[in-house]
């Protein structure tokens, strides 16, 4: 993985007592486009909420490399507002957004 910008390594996440992500790993290379596909309840949203800091993994880690020349940062346990400042944000689908604003404007409001 020569230039992965995001690495999710063996994360385990609970929502209350429910074990929602069990040993999930993936990487995203710089310039790559990735889609998460799965049935309802498969953990897609939980994974994205964990990457953006809205949920915390019990085990594993999430590494982020903001640009080509920087070192990887472990963002697994830092607050969502710090993750947003690094350039990662979560925009929920169809809910909790301002419909008259662009995606960019909604993300800036959340930041």
- Give the pLDDT confidence of 71-98 residue by residue, as tens digits: 999 999 999 999 999 989 887 666 677 8
Q: What is the pLDDT of residue 94?
A: 63
Q: Is the pLDDT of residue 1 over 70?
A: no
SS3 letters for 41-79?
CCCHHHHHHHHCCCCCCCEEEEEECCCCCCCCEECCCCC
pLDDT of residue 27: 95
- Over residues 34-54, the pLDDT tens digits come to 999 999 989 999 999 999 999
pLDDT tens track for 3-29? 889 999 999 999 999 999 999 999 999
Closest to 46 measured CA to CA, from 28, 21, 24: 21
Q: Which helix (H) or strand (E) holds 107?
A: helix 103-110
Domain 4-110 CATH superfamily? P-loop containing nucleotide triphosphate hydrolases (3.40.50.300)
- Cα separation of 62 and 52, whole Å? 10
């Amino acid at each position: 993985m020569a230039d992965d910008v995001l690495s999710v390594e063996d994360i385990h996440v609970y929502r209350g007592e429910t074990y929602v992500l069990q040993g999930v790993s993936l990487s995203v290379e710089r310039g790559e486009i990735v889609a998460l596909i799965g049935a309802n309840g498969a953990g897609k949203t939980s994974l994205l909420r964990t990457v953006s800091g809205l949920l915390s993994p019990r085990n594993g880690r999430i590494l982020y490399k903001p640009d080509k020349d920087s070192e990887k940062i472990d963002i697994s346990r830092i607050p969502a507002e710090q993750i947003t400042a690094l350039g990662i944000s979560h925009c929920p689908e169809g809910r909790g957004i301002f419909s008259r604003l662009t995606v960019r404007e909604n993300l800036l409001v959340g930041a």
